[in-house]
Copies of this chain bind each other. A is one copy, B any other.
Amino acid sequence: MSPSSPILVLDSGLGGLTVVRSLQALMPAERIVYFGDTARLPYGSKGAATVTGFVRQIIHYLLPCDPKHVVIACNTATALAMPAIRQAFCDLPVSGVIEPGAKAAVAAAGAKPIPVFGVIATEATIRSKAYERAIHRRRHHARMLLRPAPLLVPIIEEGRTAADPLVRLALKQYLEPMLRHRLDVLVLGCTHYPILKDAVAQIVGPGVPVIDSAEQCAQDVALRLRARGMCCVPSQASDGLPAGELRTFVTDDPQRFKRLASRFLGVEIDLPVLVPPDELYRQQRIEALPVSIPA
């Protein structure tokens, strides 16, 4: 890998594009390869072994594009799969969305003696207690209010916006039980949710900072690349993607992905490459065959 190698960003579907958008804003020259596992989404209601298997297959499949960094741009996958993935791909720098989100949340809480952190996320992320652990590691005395919000991903994937009364009602149902307590910081613990950030901020009010885990994740990636001297310089030539290019892969229905992606990125994308799930399984099995190693 070299500074002109791409960053690999993966997610269950569209949500990780909020991380891509933040990466592009911070580092416009970077080549990005995005994988949305749309045939098997959502991850948020599924178990750890299942999700870890999915993520391992995706990284395996995209190793030939020689990524310089892998971003697991999905809170569920970060929560359930990160340790197993770091072990399976130990030569590859891999980062997620939860540690950067937790760090920013603790910073936003300032010097309050016992800050109260709210987190909305998928069922699987909440059940994993990943945010609790990441925040408590940084602030021993912190109170946590955790709330699974399973409808928000399908609401966003349906293309609904904050102008829709159903979206406002869902947000109120999920957030109001939290607001009955004192709340110091609210973490959007799913990369889909930044699409509704303004509506969330209106409900929680101006006194509560809303932490966008996607944005924090992108800043973390930029810091890591800078520290390794691996940032892309715009003039750098590459055999692969042109500088600043985004290439996308999906496991189902490229047209649908293309149509909805512009809501997340603010611009149109090229039609994604379709990789049916069987291809991921086949690849995995080929790799598992015994091979003769040249002397």
Instruction: Point out residues on A near B: beta carbons under 8 Å.
Output: 38-40, 45-47, 49-50, 53, 150-151, 153-155, 157-158, 165-166, 169-170, 173, 251-253, 256, 276-278, 281-282, 285
Q: Which label, helix, strand, loop or mixed, suits the secondary structure of the A interface?
A: helix
- B169 to A158, Cβ gap below 8 A? no
- Complex Cα distance A75/B237, Å? 51
- Per the bound structure, the CA–CA distance linking A153 and B281 in Å amounts to 28
- CB pair A253–B165 under 8 Å, yes or no, is no
CA distance in complex: A253, B173 (Å): 26
Set of chain B residues within 8 Å of A166, measured between Cβ atoms: 151, 166, 169-170, 173
Cα-based distance from A252 to B49 in the complex (angstroms): 9
Looking at the complex, which one of B50, B155, B165, B277 makes contact with A169 (CB distance below 8 Å)? Answer: B165
Assess whether A50 is in contact with B151, with CB atoms less than 8 Å apart: no
Shortest CB-to-CB span from A155 to chain B, Å, is 7
In the bound complex, residues from chain B placing their C-beta under 8 Å from that of A45 are 38, 157, 253, 256
Q: Nearest residue in B to A13 (C-beta to C-beta)?
A: B45
A37 to chain B, nearest CB (A): 10
Contacts of A39 in B (CB 8 A): 40, 46-47, 50
Given A39-B50, A46-B253, also A154-B165 (CB < 8 A): no
Question: Bound complex: CA of A153 vs CA of B38, how far in Å?
Answer: 17
- State the Cβ distance, A124 to closest chain B Cβ, in Å: 9
Nearest B residue to A49, CB-CB:
B276
A251 touches B281 (CB 8 A): no
Measured between beta carbons, the chain B residues less than 8 angstroms from A157 are 45, 150
Chain B, Cβ-Cβ closest to A284? B278
